[in-house]
Amino acid sequence: MLPLAQPHLEAYLEGGPVTWATERQIELVGEALNNLRKAAPDLAARIPDVHKIIATRNVLVHGYTEVNSTIVWQAATQAIPGLIPTLEALLAEVAPTD
């Protein structure tokens, strides 16, 4: 993935492409983790806050409650990037060896 300029909270709050892209990425991560939790619950349990990520995805997709934009932004810019090292390590464990 190519690094992009980090948009600011204000751009997210305006709505439009930054909002849609941010929320879509959270939806994708949440859906992938939900599928992982079903297929390999022990592996999914090793991911910090896996249940919160899936719950956030569900709120975004199904509109269970009003979305708190500040929480979504914090998840996208702080929590999810912090998961990358954990996810990379788990992928390395389960990746087939040549």
Annotate the chain with DSSP letters as a single string: --------HHHHHT-SHHHHHHHHHHHHHHHHHHHHHHH-HHHHTTSTTHHHHHHHHHHHHH--S---HHHHHHIIIIIHHHHHHHHHHHHHHHSPP-
Query: In terms of pTM, does the model score above 0.85?
Result: no
- Tens digit of pLDDT at every position of the chain (98 positions): 444 556 788 888 888 888 899 899 999 999 999 999 999 999 999 999 999 999 999 999 988 667 888 888 888 888 888 889 999 999 998 888 76
Q: What are 80's two structure tokens?
A: 């999810």
